Chain A
Amino acid sequence: MRTKYNKISILTYLNLSQLLKEYQGSHEENRVFALKHQSLIKNPKKLILLWTESSMFRVQDTLDSRVFSVYFSSMSTLFSFISLLLGFFTGMGLLNYSGDAPVNVIYYLLFSMGLPLFSMVLTFFSMFSHGIILNFFTLFFPLHWVEKIFSLFSFGKNINAVNDKFTPALKKWMFINRLQLFSLFFSIGLLLAILLEVAIQDIAFSWSTTLEVTPFAFQEFLTFIATPWSWFFPDAIPSVELVHMSHYYRLGERLDPEMIKNANVLGGWWQFLAMVTFFYAIILRVLMLIISHFGFKWQLGKDFLSLNGVDKLLREFQTSYVSTESQKLEKHLEIVSKIDTQIKDNHRRTYKTIIGWNFSNDEIALANDSKEIKALTVQTVGGNHTFLEDQEVAKLSSEVVLLYVKSWEPPTMDFVDFLELLIANIMVNEIQVYPLGTVGRYYESSEKEVAVWKRKIEGLKSKKVWVIDA
């Protein structure tokens, strides 16, 4: 499927840059996207373009690319037209023949060949420089100053705002690219001017210089200039005779009689001048435009992949999405912070019945000895006992019962079932639940452990049950 997002362009660059600031997607979303387009997984640029296209709907603000294309295309059209006119009128001015003094070809050569070559050399230096050196070279380009003036106007400011989204390197290539385009239009204007001037009036060309240059030397120089077209267009190389008879001296402001005699031949220069303009100002400029276009494309591709967030996107496209979370919501246990349990801070010395929950008889004997507690009967419940055995113990209990529990083991519903049996026994007046710590800690229980027991006992809401927190 061909879309406008099929290739990296300045507009897709701006769109992606704007999109990444607002949305980068989660790893899961991005990986799913990549898996849907598995054929493109090895072509990151295309994959990102496609991702941009499918995600652009998320950008609600005015698109930077829209602002850029509206202002930039109108600015470019305007500047191209101005350059064309400028070139045309410069050409008309240079070729203006009043009938008094002939048109000096050297002067024309400076504009149609010297200036473009100088500008191209500067452009070459600019292509390979950056920072302060680049800024220095830029100062030589009139376009830089024209754009600076334009930036003071409101539409110029809009362009600047979008322009700030580009890296300095990309801005450089964009400037070089623009410069080549406008220079090309200027040169086309120049060529049109010479063709028009030649067609509508009779121009007498000459060459004139203060330097001591012989016609032979000058002709050799011109032949050198004409090398590129000498093999297919020899008529566009001025002959020695033509150069000789076109030599003009301003002294006395008069024309050489030889020149007047050969006035019909003097116009023969135009072919040479047109070819100079065509080759040096247009063909070479087109080459520069192509080079700068490739430079711009290369930089754009590089910057496109360096946009903040692209790294993350590529990584997420290429790496498997691993998740370990549960999709089921947790059912939270409501923890009651306020505890209103009946608490005793000490135990009795003697009890009629002592019951150990999940304790063995030996363990109870040790605990009794340590706590100096005596009992008429000692029973063990829980653990390996059956529930029927526990029922029997609960049934036989009476008066005040001391119930040892392991403080570190939380009260299970199994324990609650047994406690409820004790509560239900009308012979039992009071149940004292005593959470004991481990032997290693000398039966000391932590505050946290006892709190767990208190909380559970509180839930039973029985007046009979107390917790010993000694």
Chain B
Amino acid sequence: MHNSEKDIIDDYPKFAVVGHPNKGKSSIVSSLALDDSVQIGDTPGTTQVKRGFPLRVDGKVIYELFDTPGFQRARRVLEWLKEQPEVSADKRAELVRKFVNEHRNDERFTDEIELLEPILDGAGIIYVVDASKPFGPEYEVEMEILRWCGQPSMAILNLIGDEDYRGQWKSALGHYFRLVRTFNPIEATFRDHMDLLESMAQLKEEWTKSIKVAISVLDDLHQQKVEQTIDSIVSNMVKTISFVYKQNIEGESATQEEEEQAKLAYREQIMDYEKELEKSIEFIWNHRSIEKVDNVLILDEVGLFSKESASIFGLSQSELMITGASAGAITGAGVDLMFAGHTLFLASLIGGVVGGIGARIGFDNLYSIEILGQNLGKRELSIGPMKNLNFPYILLGRAMYHGSVIAKRSHALRESFKLEDDEFFTEQLIDAEMRKKLESIHLKLRKNEALSEEMLDEYKKIILRSFLGLLR
């Protein structure tokens, strides 16, 4: 590093994630930095240069993580250090610096220089090991070099495989590191992430404040992302349920072909709306590279209009009957009220029965098709809004499922996810009370009526409650 650069070193905490090649350093950085663009590979040496991942709030750096290449010639480095005239412990870091300066142009030590530089510039050490594999003596050499650097350090036990050698590792790592924590970047939840930051805050007193700020910022950010996800889901629900597709037709009534064409266009538009929603949710959660992963789209295989989707995300037949009946009863109650109860609440009863039976009508009975009046001699075929009672629940269930998977998905994950739940997904999401409230809103949307702000807020609240349940 040049002197001018040295002079402007900021005092925010820095952490270098170091270790043996292929032990998940990049996965940990990707997970902590919420960035899925970090290249993660099975091949050792995927990371060839150090990369800084600063957490910036309005441009101000709170802390910075460094992803580094793995040790390649650790023994040679240690040998060189030991060959030097013996110095006291407080001078050892100077020797490491001397090694870096002397070997800066030595191609054999490119990786070591890349990983040691941030540490010598004041970064804390996060040493990553794969605790699903046994401890070996080669690690001691790496740990010894890191000890010579004299920076605050902690070790992370990453469980890449199914075996568990954590006991063995803890005994060995305990000799070199103040803190040893288990962190699986692939399965880590937001809470695990925050817990790890808490541990990092303990490494050095001066860093505690910054890391606490970072935790609070990330907490707020998480909350904002949840809210944005709910907003997107709600706006898609409103748009989709009340969507009406219109198409000019030639004759007095629509031909079979015209009707089929319009139905297809109607469905395609709704599917496009769903895809737009998925993209926006992936964007909110910073999963920008997700489309690069093969077969990653969980819901594509289970079509929006398929029976499978209905069975997983929709309401069961009995729930549908109850929902249909309550929706019918709501309409009937309006009639009863108009007659000040003189109908002996017969309208509610009839509405309930008709609604309940209506809910059983086949899955294909999705939308109302109408021929609209003349406009300068032309007739219009209108499809929608969706009349099927189950449709809003299928749509909502799919959106919440996708949203929760994306929200929980680690940025270190590079594999696709599969929909394996064959139970009624909606049952986990919406209880009877919530369903009742949702249905009154869906009823309005099906009638293409605008929702008041209060209703929209209520809708968001219900969905938020379910969504938070899914995130747990």
Interface residues of A (CB under 8 A from B): 31-32, 35, 311, 315, 319-328, 330-333, 335, 358, 360, 382-387, 406, 408-414, 417, 438-441, 448, 451-452, 455-456
- Contact code string B1-40 (vs A, CB < 8 Å = 1, else 0): 0000000000000000000111000000000111101110
Once bound together, how far apart are the Cα atoms of A408 and B231, in whole Å? 46
Name A383's contact: one of B67, B137, B231 (CB within 8 Å).
B137
User: Closest residue of chain A to B161, judged by CB?
Assistant: A408
Name B163's contact: one of A324, A332, A384, A440 (CB within 8 Å).
A440
Contacts of B138 in A (CB 8 A): 358, 382-383, 409
Q: A437: shortest Cβ distance to chain B, in Å? A: 10
Within 8 A of A (CB), among B199-226: 217-218, 220-221, 224
B423 within 8 A of A: no
Main secondary structure of the interface of A (DSSP, over half): loop
Q: B205: shortest Cβ distance to chain A, in Å? A: 24
Contacts of A409 in B (CB 8 A): 20, 133, 136, 138
B58 within 8 A of A: yes
Once bound together, how far apart are the Cα atoms of A326 and B20, in whole Å? 22
- Contact code string B151-188 (vs A, CB < 8 Å = 1, else 0): 00000000001010000000000000000000000000
| With known contacts A322-B56, A412-B73, A333–B133 Cβ distance under 8 A | no
Some 10 contacts from A to B, beta carbons below 8 A apart, are A35-B58, A322-B56, A328-B49, A330-B38, A333-B41, A408-B161, A409-B20, A412-B72, A413-B72, A438-B134
Interface residues of B (CB under 8 A from A): 20-22, 32-35, 37-39, 41-49, 51-59, 67, 70-76, 79, 108, 111, 130, 133-134, 136-138, 140-141, 161, 163, 217-218, 220-221, 224, 228, 231
Contacts of B48 in A (CB 8 A): 331-333
Q: B467: shortest Cβ distance to chain A, in Å? A: 18
Name A321's contact: one of B20, B32, B33, B58 (CB within 8 Å).
B58
Once bound together, how far apart are the Cα atoms of A328 and B38, in whole Å? 11
A333 and B46 form a contact (CB under 8 A): yes
Contacts of A412 in B (CB 8 A): 20-21, 44, 70-74
A326 and B52 form a contact (CB under 8 A): yes
Name A326's contact: one of B35, B76, B161, B218 (CB within 8 Å).
B35
Once bound together, how far apart are the Cα atoms of A410 and B20, in whole Å? 9
Once bound together, how far apart are the Cα atoms of A35 and B137, in whole Å? 54
Once bound together, how far apart are the Cα atoms of A448 and B44, in whole Å? 12
User: Closest residue of chain B to A451, judged by CB?
Assistant: B42
Once bound together, how far apart are the Cα atoms of A358 and B139, in whole Å? 10
Q: A156: shortest Cβ distance to chain B, in Å? A: 14
Contacts of B136 in A (CB 8 A): 358, 383, 406, 409
B38 and A386 form a contact (CB under 8 A): no
A333 and B43 form a contact (CB under 8 A): yes
User: Closest residue of chain B to A306, judged by CB?
Assistant: B453
Once bound together, how far apart are the Cα atoms of A335 and B134, in whole Å? 27
Once bound together, how far apart are the Cα atoms of A445 and B163, in whole Å? 13
Once bound together, how far apart are the Cα atoms of A333 and B137, in whole Å? 28
User: Closest residue of chain A to B134, judged by CB?
Assistant: A438
User: Closest residue of chain B to A390, judged by CB?
Assistant: B75
A441 and B163 form a contact (CB under 8 A): yes
B53 and A324 form a contact (CB under 8 A): yes
Given A323-B55, A324-B32, A412-B73, 5 more A-B residue pairs with CB atoms under 8 Å apart are: A31-B58, A326-B53, A333-B43, A382-B75, A411-B44
Contacts of A311 in B (CB 8 A): 231
Q: Which 10 A-B pairs have the closest CB atoms?
A: A410-B44, A383-B137, A413-B72, A324-B33, A326-B51, A410-B22, A331-B48, A323-B56, A384-B137, A408-B133
User: Closest residue of chain A to B130, judged by CB?
Assistant: A408
| With known contacts A330-B39, A438-B133, A320–B44 Cβ distance under 8 A | no
Q: B21: shortest Cβ distance to chain A, in Å? A: 5
A414 and B43 form a contact (CB under 8 A): no
Contacts of A382 in B (CB 8 A): 75, 138
A324 and B35 form a contact (CB under 8 A): yes
Once bound together, how far apart are the Cα atoms of A441 and B20, in whole Å? 22
B39 and A325 form a contact (CB under 8 A): no
